[in-house]
Amino acid sequence: MRLKDKVALITGAGSGIGRQAALLFAGEGAGVVVADLAPQGGEETVRLVRAGGGQACFVRADVGRAADCAGMVEVAEREFGKLDVLFNNAGISHIDDGDAVSTEEEVWDLTMQVNLKGVFLGCKYGIPALRRAGGGSIINTSSFVALLGAATPQLAYTASKGGVLALTRELAVVHAREKIRLNALCPGPLRTELLMKYLDTEEKRQRRLVHIPMGRFGETVEIARAALFLASDESSYLTGAAFTVDGGITAAYVTPE
Ligand code: NAD
């Protein structure tokens, strides 16, 4: 059991990577707090965890709101007695996010509120709880787009994920001596609703696939497994990293035929 006796709080756990992580973490012995804006998805994740014999509870939280972030941490300590792992995974990708000229301020503000401020607030309220537990691991979800520019821009999203990377690096240094590790997880493009709503034709999908050495999109469970490693003590000497799981995209100049 890689997370035996640990308590993990996962934001955006009602879907995608977050749900897979909840299932994996609980299967490795963690008590899991499933936090999500959407109760239906969150409750379903809890049901799936319990069906697999794991322990989980749901808390509705908008990560862009301070009171909700304070509340989700309180739930973890109340229900499970402590908090060891915080996976700041919730994020959005707005359909009208484009380049600097086309992106509306409202789209920029909303994206920053969820993707960047949400991670800040998670850390703001989560770090004191990790201190009370004697240390722990924080995983902040960034993206491969924080590392590479694309001619198909989603400027607010990209900037928010760049911010997550920088914030994580700095806090990793600040809290290193308190046994609190922080790493940024940088997933490549995944075969999920979040991405496929943009890549809605075979031509658009092929235009992306040509840049991926492995020649396929990733699966949410492949990212959740990386999060499990970062959450567990197996990664005990890893902090401040941009942990990239991208099918080789950032390693490539020319990809195989
Ligand atoms: P998803 O859309 O399947 O899941 C996101 C979850 O976050 C949903 O359950 C949603 O209800 C929740 N959520 C949205 N806004 C919220 C808020 N304000 N407060 C709390 N919860 C909120 O997405 P996913 O593909 O699993 O992505 C998870 C993370 O991974 C995101 O941060 C995303 O940016 C990042 N990511 C995804 C990809 C990809 O290709 N899918 C690639 C790189 C990074």
User: Tens digit of pLDDT per residue, the chain (257 long)?
Assistant: 999 999 999 999 999 999 999 999 999 999 999 999 999 999 999 999 999 999 999 999 999 999 999 999 999 999 999 999 999 999 999 999 999 999 999 999 999 999 999 999 999 999 999 999 999 999 999 999 999 999 999 999 999 999 999 999 999 999 999 999 999 999 999 998 878 888 899 999 998 999 999 999 999 999 999 999 999 999 999 999 999 999 999 999 999 98
pTM of the model: 0.98
253 is catalytic: no
Distance CA 207, CA 195 (A): 14
Q: Is 20 in the pocket of ligand 1 (CB under 6 A)?
A: no
Q: 194: Cβ below 6 Å to ligand 1? A: yes
Q: Is 226 in the pocket of ligand 1 (CB under 6 A)?
A: no
Question: Distance (Å, rounded) from C-alpha 148 to C-alpha 130?
Answer: 32
What distance in angstroms lies between residue 237's CA and the mean position of ligand 1's atoms? Answer: 27
Residue spans of the domains in the chain: they are 7-189+219-240
Question: Which residue out of 125, 157, 198, 253 is catalytically annotated?
Answer: 157
Class of domain 7-189+219-240: alpha beta
Residues in CB range of 95: below 8 A, 6 or more apart: 197, 198
